[in-house]
Amino acid sequence: MNAAVIKQTLSSDVLPSYAQILDAAARIAPYARVTPVLRSAALDALSGSELHFKCENLQRGGAFKFRGACNAVWALTESQAAAGVVTHSSGNHGNALALAAATRGIAAHVIVPQGAVQAKVDAIARAGAILHRCAATQAAREAMSAEVQRTSGAVLVHPYADTQVMAGQGTAALELLKQVIGLDALITPVGGGGMASGTAIAAHAIDPSMTLFGAEPLGADDAVRSLSQGRRVTTLVPDTLCDGLRALIGETNLDALRTHHVDVIAVSDEESIAAMQLLWSELKLVVEVSSATVLAAILKQPARFAGRRVGVVLTGGNVDLQSLPWNAG
């Protein structure tokens, strides 16, 4: 393993500071979009709260992931960047890293597990990534990543446990809290925990009293279980339509959720699909089932959000329109 890979590995698994999130915002400003915030009187009435939807489904690449990937790519030194970057991803992070690498003119290797959503794999390829296939296990992903690092010298940019990735994801909350003054709660989906971690750090740096929530599929509720049991649950095998939230939460990311008292609510796939339909009906937004978990959580437990001004982060919109979940079966 070369020095560039070693340095990048050592920078992982460390939570970013608020200063690093501010640095990330400046770093990605020339490349990332300032996404809009939308409202719906109908959804406010349905939830009993004032909802402000941060539309990261309209971010470059169709998901918030571009923020973290772009920050990681542009945080590299010239010598680190020369050999390119590598990650393992079934979708949005791989696409985001390829797009971010293109802004710097460097190679992006993406390890894609078997069974990944074909529309997302196609997007990764269109973004210019060098694709590598592996078995659909975490061990296979990591083994292939290590092999590509060894043979190419590419720098690993982990989907959610990389410090610069987490800092970049935190810029969405930073942006939202400038767009909407006076929010008293935020909710994001929870998968590996990069977005939830970055959001928590940014939000509490700005307003320590803010209440933070996460939304997670019942079929991949390892964060809920981990927070309840006081230890990271690693034995759960995800079983959910929310392909973007199948990753188990990282240890460092879990620490952030504990430290910032993020309250994670688990929702069924059926509840998320219904929320996905509502977002199309009321906001005319196409979002992934994973993104719709946040609205599903609010509607599942409305008493916890009643009367609040809530920032709701819609994380992605990369949907295969030929395979909409309510048409399945």
The percentage of the chain sitting over the pLDDT mark of 90, rounded to a whole number, equals 83
Q: What is the pLDDT of residues 85-135, one digit of tens each?
A: 999 987 899 999 999 999 999 999 999 988 887 888 999 999 999 999 999
Residues 247 and 137 in one domain: no
* Tally of domains in the chain: 2
pLDDT the model gives residue 118: 83
Query: Do 241 and 269 contact (CB within 8 A), yes or no?
Result: yes
Picking from 135, 156, 177, the residue at the C-terminal end of a domain is 156
Domain assignment of residue 11, yes or no: no
The single-letter code of the amino acid at 319 is V
Q: What is the pLDDT of residues 253-297, one digit of tens each?
A: 999 999 999 999 999 999 999 999 999 999 999 999 999 999 999
Residues 300 and 172 in one domain: yes
Domain of 41, in residue numbers: 18-64+162-327
Report the alpha-carbon distance of residue 309 to residue 323 in Å, rounded. 34
Which phi and psi (to 5°) does residue 124 adopt?
-60, -45
Residues 103 and 192 in one domain: no
Domain assignment of residue 102, yes or no: yes
Domain assignment of residue 3, yes or no: no
Residues 187 and 319 in one domain: yes
Residues 182 and 314 in one domain: yes
Domain assignment of residue 2, yes or no: no
- Concatenating the DSSP letter of every residue in 201-232 gives HHHHHH-TT-EEEEEEEGGG-HHHHHHHHTS-
Residues 24 and 172 in one domain: yes
Domain assignment of residue 13, yes or no: no
Residues 307 and 233 in one domain: yes
pLDDT the model gives residue 12: 62
Nearest Cα to 326, choosing from 272, 264, 246, 257? Answer: 272
pLDDT the model gives residue 30: 98
pLDDT the model gives residue 131: 94
CATH number at residue 106: 3.40.50.1100
Residues 72 and 57 in one domain: no
Q: What is the pLDDT of residues 193-243, one digit of tens each?
A: 999 999 999 999 999 999 999 999 999 999 999 999 999 999 999 999 998
Q: Distance between terminal CA atoms of the chain?
A: 47
Picking from 156, 180, 212, the residue at the C-terminal end of a domain is 156
pLDDT band per the 50, 70, 90 thresholds, residue 9: very low
Domain assignment of residue 295, yes or no: yes
Residues 95 and 58 in one domain: no
- 141 conformational bin, left if phi > 0, alpha if psi -120 to 50, beta if neither: alpha
Residues 191 and 313 in one domain: yes
Domain assignment of residue 305, yes or no: yes
Domain assignment of residue 284, yes or no: yes
